[in-house]
Structure 1
Amino acid sequence: MKRTLRIIGTSHEENGLTTVENLYKEITKIAPDVILEEIPVDMFSGIYERHLYPDSFEVQAVRKYIADRQCVNHFPIDIEKLPQLSASLSCGAIDTAVDEYIKRQTNRCFAKIITEKLEKLDTLGCKKMNSAFHRFLENLKQQAVKRYLLKHNKELHCRYEISYHFHFEIREYFMLEKIIYYLERYNNPLLIIGYSHIPTLTRKIKKVYKQIRVKIG
């Protein structure tokens, strides 16, 4: 019998109908016995136990869910020293530069059109954000941004590739190892992660762990 991994993708922020309460209700429907969260392993206790950082949108929803459920386990899966590694590669600055560059383009720019459609969907709640149509648009966006940068701004394209490799290769292979470890130990796991990772990370999981069924949302 195939195991099932449930995934809820987020945009990492409250926006419109996409609220802490909305995410909490989606988690409750799944009723996981373990929650895997896109949090650096070395920051987990600082977030959930020592309160060293402001609670994110996802953390607030997870806190609410596990508060009265002693049987739920909860683990971080993201790479250690994430802020430091990201800063050393200037990933934040690169991603901001790409976003701002695309926004400055004319309304005929396909990458800009898709980005704006995604931004609207992101305000309509977790179900819309985890729909097949949303994933289709996210794939289109990533491809369109790469093509547009390659054609119109090769210097920014090269920088974008550095950030992309860090987020979607280095981090995802680290997360993959953690996910597989917990998949073999729990019956109803839930992964909460930024939705941009869903297409690429899902492919990696299915390639390594053949006996798995992935359900989004």
Structure 2
Amino acid sequence: MYNITLLSSFHKNLGKCNPNELFKIIKKIGPEIIFEELSIGTFSNVYSDGYIPSTIEAITIKKYLRDYSIKHFPVDTYPIKETELFSGSDKILQSSLEYNKLWREQVLLVAKYGFNFLNSNTCIELFDKIRTIEQNVLLQLNNEKLSREFKSEIGLHEKRENEMLRNIYEYSKQNPFNKALFICGATHRRPIIQKVQDFEKRGNPKLNWTFYEGHL
């Protein structure tokens, strides 16, 4: 009971990161429930009749629902305000050749290895390097507005991650299941794994987490 797999994704169709590959993974896991990184409003729009989704997750799940009778729910329900988002990515791109190089490397690895890369320690380490450069460049720029936005967005993602896990645990209290899948963007992989440890200490119920591992 209460087996749940975290699968990290990229949202965009890129090389081996595509709906067909994702469909194979979901089919192999065989979940009876899928928790999605979507708000309630976006979820309603995406799964309305006639809507053509743009993310590989929604494309795949729509296809999966035609073949298999499963439940799926949006768990990314923390409200997002535009004022909490970072607007200085272009500034960092203009200021750091290494930053550009790492993002190009990231895209190439996603295209070449798909979900094997997205669910690897290599991917986590690359995101860590990118975050470090962002912090260093912002220190050099000494722009109070951008620094404030950067901290605000980090805080926003922290709240979103906690909200997603809280929603999963709350659902699990009321609805026992055998096998579930939580699909979430790869940038959230390390913090989600860390936060799961805190949620597990609280128990009620304890979930049997598997963190899908890719092989490069």
Please confirm whether the aligned pair reaches a TM-score higher than 0.5, indicating the same fold. Answer: yes
Q: Retained in 2: the 8 A contact 1:46–1:53?
A: no
Q: Return closer, same or farther for 1:103/1:178 CA change in 2, 3 Å cut-off.
A: same
User: By how many angstroms is 1:90 displaced?
Assistant: 5.5
Question: 1:120 aligns to what?
Answer: 108
Conserved? CA contact 2:36–2:73, under 8 Å: yes
C-alpha deviation, 1:197, in angstroms: 1.0
AA of the residue aligned to 2:209 = R
- CA displacement at 1:179 relative to structure 2: 1.6
Task: Name the structure 2 match of 1:194.
Answer: 185
Output the CA distance in 2 between the equivalents of 1:31 and 1:120.
29
Contact between 1:36 and 1:190, CA under 8 Å: does it hold in 2?
yes
Find the counterpart in structure 2 of residue 12 from structure 1.
11
Is the alpha carbon distance of 1:52 and 1:64 closer, same or farther for their aligned partners in structure 2, counting shifts above 3 Å?
A: closer
In structure 1, C-alpha distance between the alignment counterparts of 2:44 and 2:50, rounded to whole Å: 8
2:62 aligns with 63
Which whole-Å CA distance do the structure 1 matches of 2:105 and 2:197 have between them?
29
Are 2:13 and 2:55, in contact at CA under 8 Å, matched by a contact in 1? no
Selected match of 1:213 from 209, 212, 215:
209
1:50: how far off? 4.2
Q: Is 1:136 matched with 2:132?
A: no
Q: CA deviation at 1:201?
A: 1.8
The AA in structure 2 aligned to 1:15 is L
Aligned twin of 2:81: 86
Residue identity opposite 1:118 in structure 2: Q
Q: C-alpha separation between the residues in 2 aligned to 1:133 and 1:101?
A: 26
Gaps of at least 5 residues in structure 1 are: none
Q: Secondary structure at the match of 2:184?
A: strand
- What code does the residue aligned with 1:33 have? E
**Structure 1 residue 192: Cα displacement:** 0.8
- Aligned residue for 2:164? 175
CA contact (8 A) 2:6 2:209 kept: no
What letter corresponds to residue 148 of structure 1 in structure 2? V
Q: Hey, which bits of structure 1, 4+ residues long, moved more than 6 A?
A: none
Any idea what SS the aligned residue of 1:138 has? helix
Aligned pair 1:157/2:147, yes or no?
A: yes
What CA deviation, in whole Å up to 9, does each residue of 1:64-94 have, x standing for no partner?
A: 1121111x211110116x4xx332x162xx3
Deviations 1:157-204 (A, max 9, x none): 2211112211x2221221121121244522211111111111112211
TM-score norm. by structure 2 comes to 0.82
Deviates more, 1:42-51 or 1:19-28: 42-51
Q: Is the 8 A contact 1:5 1:183 kept in 2?
A: no
Structure 1 residues 164 and 145, CA gap change in structure 2 (3 angstroms) = same
Aligned equivalent of 2:93: 103
In the superposition, the TM-score normalised over structure 1's length comes to 0.82
Aligned to 1:204: 195
- Partners of 1:172 and 1:201 within 8 A in 2: yes
RMSD of aligned alpha carbons? 2.3
Cα distance between partner residues in 1 of 2:168 and 2:131: 24
Residue identity in the other structure for 1:104: Q
